[in-house]
Amino acid sequence: MSSLAKDTRVTLIPTSRYRDAAAAIDWLCEAFGFERHLVVPGADGEILHAQLVFGNGMFMLGSARDDDFARLQRPVARPGDPVPHCHYVIVSDVDAHHARAAAAGAEIVMEPEDQDYGGRLYCCRDPEGNLWAFGSYDPWDGGA
């Protein structure tokens, strides 16, 4: 392990801002199986900070708002636009996860498919246009 990394369970936690973070939290839990770890509400339904967990991973999010950080990170401009990042989440059953996400209204942009490098993968967008990939490939063990 790099001497710069802290010896902890997870050292990389992606974050996003959402126009309707409260609705996003509910949807991410329903569609993807995330669980609420911490949700800090603000005024008028705003979410100041939220932590959702999936296995030993975490995703942090908050409401889009007018503050210094908003100049650096904001929600996807238009839900169908290309994005500069995709969140990859390792799941045990890609097809079952795909069915759950599709039933919750995820926009499936790549159907489940076996990958040349191993494992199975599908990609979708959440209601605000963020791109998510769910796959069985685990780069730590190289297996499906």
Asked if the model's pLDDT at residue 9 lies above 60, the reply is: yes
Whether residue 25 is found in the same domain as residue 54: yes
Look at residue 133 and tell me if it is in a domain: yes
Q: Give the domain CATH number at 139.
A: 3.30.720.110
- Segment 96-111 mean pLDDT: 98
Whether residue 70 is found in the same domain as residue 110: no
Q: How many domains does the chain contain in total?
A: 2
pLDDT at 50 (0 to 100): 98
pLDDT at 11 (0 to 100): 79
Whether residue 85 is found in the same domain as residue 34: no
Whether residue 102 is found in the same domain as residue 58: no
**In Å, what is the CA distance from 111 to each residue of 7, 77, 99, 141?**
36, 24, 10, 24
Structure tokens at 81: 């636009």
Look at residue 2 and tell me if it is in a domain: no
Identify the CA nearest to 88 among candidates 59, 116, 113. 59
* Domain limit, last residue, from 21, 41, 75: 75
Structure tokens at 36: 């609420």
pLDDT at 142 (0 to 100): 61
Whether residue 106 is found in the same domain as residue 67: no
Condensed to tens digits (0 to 9), the pLDDT of residues 114-139 reads 999 999 999 999 999 999 999 999 99
Whether residue 26 is found in the same domain as residue 39: yes
Whole-angstrom distance between the N-terminal and C-terminal Cα of the chain? 24
Residue 32 belongs to domain spanning = 10-75
pLDDT at 143 (0 to 100): 57
* Domain limit, last residue, from 75, 107, 130: 75
Whether residue 87 is found in the same domain as residue 108: yes
Whether residue 144 is found in the same domain as residue 84: yes
Look at residue 65 and tell me if it is in a domain: yes
β-pairing verdict for 87-90 and 131-135: parallel
